[in-house]
Amino acid sequence: MYRKMTAINTAFSNWLLGFDELQTATSKVLKRYSDEPFPSPIVNQTIRTVKSKKKKQKAKTFCCMWCSFNN
């Protein structure tokens, strides 16, 4: 289950890097990417992480984006 979630999260993260409206993205943006259900806390944390890595580290792609949980 965690491998499947990581694969979905990595693909979503790479898609987000090319998303034009990244700065205003919310968990609802996942519906534009996929109809598959995915926990919104993971989606929100992924959006925050991608925003940070794109801005500060100029990320182009992610090899593996692990699902992270924030308290």
Domain boundaries defined on the chain: 2-56
- Given a contact cutoff of 8 angstroms between Cβ atoms, the answer to whether 55 and 49 are in contact is no
Note the pLDDT of residue 10: 93
User: For the whole model, what pTM was predicted?
Assistant: 0.84
Note the pLDDT of residue 71: 63
Note the pLDDT of residue 70: 65
Residues 4-21 pLDDT 10s: 999 999 999 999 998 888
Residues 21-67 pLDDT 10s: 888 888 888 888 888 888 888 999 999 999 998 888 888 899 998 98
Note the pLDDT of residue 57: 87
Buried b or exposed e, range 8-45, using 16+ CB within 10 angstroms: bbbebbbebeebeeeeebebebbeeeeeeebeeebbeb
